[in-house]
């Protein structure tokens, strides 16, 4: 139960309603005063978010570069890295225009977009190195087999040639020439 101490009507409006309205207006004014402090993003916060996003993007770029050097397929990583870079560019434009809330928002989007790419790049690099080692083993085995076939073919060929040559030489009859001097 709500008890009112006094309910007076002034100009047809009760004082309780008037006090409620005044409290409501005061609450809105106080809320709007403190809401700015709660939700505002300062320039320093935006700078920090941009620097963090740039550092994370550069570390992801280095990881993708290492995967590419090892021969891995980086097309999926590059799509995500490009998207993160576009969000970072958008954040920098917002920062230059003085929209610090937008700068923080796009910097966070950039970081979220490339989160986990370093681990994915490490897995792709391991796969690429494993594939490279496998191809190296296959190449060495095929080369060794080819050298063995060439050596064996040469030995067999030489023996066949030598045997036929001796057969021809032995079939030849020496011709005796009578003295012509």
Q: Is residue 173 part of a domain?
A: no
Q: Which of 165, 31, 54 is nearest to 106 (CA)?
A: 54
Q: Is residue 176 part of a domain?
A: no
**Same-domain check for residues 20 and 51:** no
Which of the four pLDDT bands, split at 50, 70 and 90, describes residue 130?
A: confident
Q: Is residue 110 part of a domain?
A: yes
> Domain residues for 140?
42-163
Question: What b/e readout covers 99-134, taking b as 16+ CB neighbours within 10 angstroms?
Answer: bbebbbbbbebbbebbeebeebbeebbeebeeeeee
**Same-domain check for residues 62 and 106:** yes
Mean pLDDT to the nearest integer, 48-73: 89
**Same-domain check for residues 36 and 53:** no
Total domains present in the chain = 2
Q: Can you give the pLDDT at residue 36?
A: 46
Q: Tell me: pLDDT of 3 over 50.
A: no
Higher confidence at residue 10 or residue 131? 131
Q: Is residue 175 part of a domain?
A: no
Q: Can you give the pLDDT at residue 37?
A: 45
Evaluate whether 132 touches 77 at the Cβ level (below 8 Å).
no
**Same-domain check for residues 27 and 106:** no
Q: Is residue 47 part of a domain?
A: yes
The tokens for 65 are 């570069």
Q: State the SS3 of the chain.
A: CCCCCCCCEECCEEHHHHHHHHHHHHHHHHHHHHHHHHHCCCHHHHHHHHHHHHHHHHHHHHHHHHHHHCCCCCHHHHHHHHHHHHHHHHHHHHHHCCCHHHHHHHHHHHHHHHCCHHHHHHHHHHHHHHHHHHHHHHHHHHHHHHHHHHHHHHHHHHHHHHHHHHHHHHHCCCCCCCCCC
Evaluate whether 110 touches 85 at the Cβ level (below 8 Å).
yes
**Same-domain check for residues 47 and 86:** yes
Q: Tell me: pLDDT of 166 over 90.
A: no
**Same-domain check for residues 21 and 108:** no
**Same-domain check for residues 35 and 63:** no
Mean pLDDT to the nearest integer, 126-145: 83
Q: Can you give the pLDDT at residue 32?
A: 61
**Same-domain check for residues 65 and 147:** yes
């Amino acid at each position: 139960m709500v008890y009112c101490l006094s309910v007076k009507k002034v100009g047809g409006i009760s004082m309780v309603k008037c006090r409620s309205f005044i409290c409501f207006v005061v609450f809105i004014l106080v809320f709007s005063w403190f809401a700015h402090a709660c939700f505002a993003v300062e320039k320093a916060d935006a700078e920090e978010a941009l620097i963090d996003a740039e550092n994370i993007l550069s570390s992801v770029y280095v990881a993708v570069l290492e995967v590419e050097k090892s021969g891995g397929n980086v097309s999926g990583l590059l799509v995500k890295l490009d998207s993160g870079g576009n969000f970072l560019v958008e954040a920098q434009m917002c920062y230059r225009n003085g929209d610090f809330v937008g700068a923080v928002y796009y910097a966070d989007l950039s970081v979220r977009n490339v989160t986990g790419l370093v681990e994915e790049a490490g897995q792709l690099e391991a796969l690429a190195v494993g594939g490279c080692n496998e191809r190296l083993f296959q190449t060495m085995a095929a080369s060794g087999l080819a050298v063995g076939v060439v050596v064996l073919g040469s030995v067999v060929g030489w023996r066949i040639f030598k045997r036929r040559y001796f057969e021809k030489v032995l079939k030849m009859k020496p011709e005796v020439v009578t003295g012509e001097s």
